[in-house]
Amino acid sequence: MEYQEALDWIHGKLKFGIKPGLKRMAWMLEELDNPQEKLAAVHVVGTNGKGSVTSYLQHIFSLAGYEVGAFTSPYIVDFRERISLNGQMISEADFLKLVERVRPVVERLSVETDLEPATEFEVITVLMFEYFGHMHPVDIAIIEAGMGGLYDSTNVFKALAVLCPSIGLDHQNVLGETYAEIAAQKAGVLKEGVPFIFATERDDVRQVFTEKAKACHSRLYEFGKDFSASENENSFDYHGKERLEQVSLAMPGKHQVSNASLAITAALQLRERYPKVTKEIIKAGLAQTHWVGRTELVFPNVMIDGAHNNESVQALVNVMQKYKDKHLHILFAAIDTKPIDSMLELLSQLADVDVTTFVYHNALPLEKYPSQYHKVANWQDWLKQIDLDSQDDFYLITGSLYFISQVRPVLLSRQQN
């Protein structure tokens, strides 16, 4: 099997859509001798911040000398980013071997059972468990949930800890209309006695988490209550049972202080099992963490950010305050399931917003954007007008991560010219 053939086989499962539920996962994993049961892993759930928290933990444990697997979505540059070892995406050779091991099981599912065919995300998740559980065992895996938690394909193992950096209104057609309903879905991954580390400013979310933790006899660790952070000029101090002073982050924004604090709490909690994780290692790991496509400065005056819901757009608006003395240019594109009007209103606090569309099956068509925004027919033409040498102009490209994944290589090609 060639690499592109393997990719085409996986992407061919997109036609089966999104089907919450765990029966298909359970059957496939049983046929593979339950690789998920061999894993020591952390589970990261939530609306925004999952990728950042996952990346912080991956950097910390890798720097400590452990073999660390990470499972993330979506990818920005290469599909294989979704399954990585110590920050490096799975090799093509390993990926092909993995697909060849898993494909027969996936194809037998709908033939030998009365279950529907596996979805794309289920296939990717099974590949990940088989890789980290059997084919390339790791010391620890950091597993980012896809959508929700309770019925998410990743919810088939007992975690060392569950982390939830935020709850926002996203994927409401699947997860529920209210913050509390969405919180219940996310907390649905919690198992008996597993620590739950979270951040929220909402009482309704806190109540859901408290009740779930009580039912599971799990210890809660809440940011702002059980641990906290005080910001300095270019760093922050972490306060918990232990203190870490002058913690520096490569990723900007107040929300990253919260995300990093959750990662610190988890790392400290797991030190008995992973004694090479010292305070110095934690600080060094956080300082080295970058997350592609999230508040990423591709050039000194060009930032890309996959802000794809109201909460992540608000966090981006806060980050952009440091550039408020610049002449700001904004380009935005989203998919058709997002709260477009409110996202654009938030961005408009910064400057006038140009909107565009891109090649993706549910990208919002140009004619569906509100009329008051300037429409750009071809986003590549917009990028060509960027003046990389300007000291006065700053360019922000944001919206769907699927859009950012197309923009990023075009921008990077200018570095080679």
Q: Which two tokens stand for residue 91?
A: 């090799």
Residues 126-131, mean pLDDT to the nearest whole number: 98
Per-residue model confidence (pLDDT) at position 171 = 55
185 contacts 158 by C-beta, under 8 angstroms: no
> What percent of the chain is modeled with pLDDT above 70?
98
Q: How confident is the model at residue 176 (pLDDT cuts 50, 70, 90)?
A: low
Our measurement of the distance from residue 412's CA atom to the centroid of its chain's CA atoms, rounded to an integer in Å, reads: 22
Of 367, 373, 326, nearest in space to 345 by CA = 373
45 contacts 162 by C-beta, under 8 angstroms: yes
Between CA 184 and CA 114 the distance in angstroms is 29
Helix (H) or strand (E) holding 54: helix 50-63
> What percent of the chain is modeled with pLDDT above 90?
76
Per-residue model confidence (pLDDT) at position 174 = 55
Global confidence as pTM? 0.86
Residue range 48-80, pLDDT digits in tens: 888 899 999 999 999 999 999 999 987 887 889
* E strands in 181-248: 196-198, 220-222, 228-231, 236-239, 243-247
Single-letter residue type at 175: L
Per-residue model confidence (pLDDT) at position 254 = 83
Residues 330-345, mean pLDDT to the nearest whole number: 93
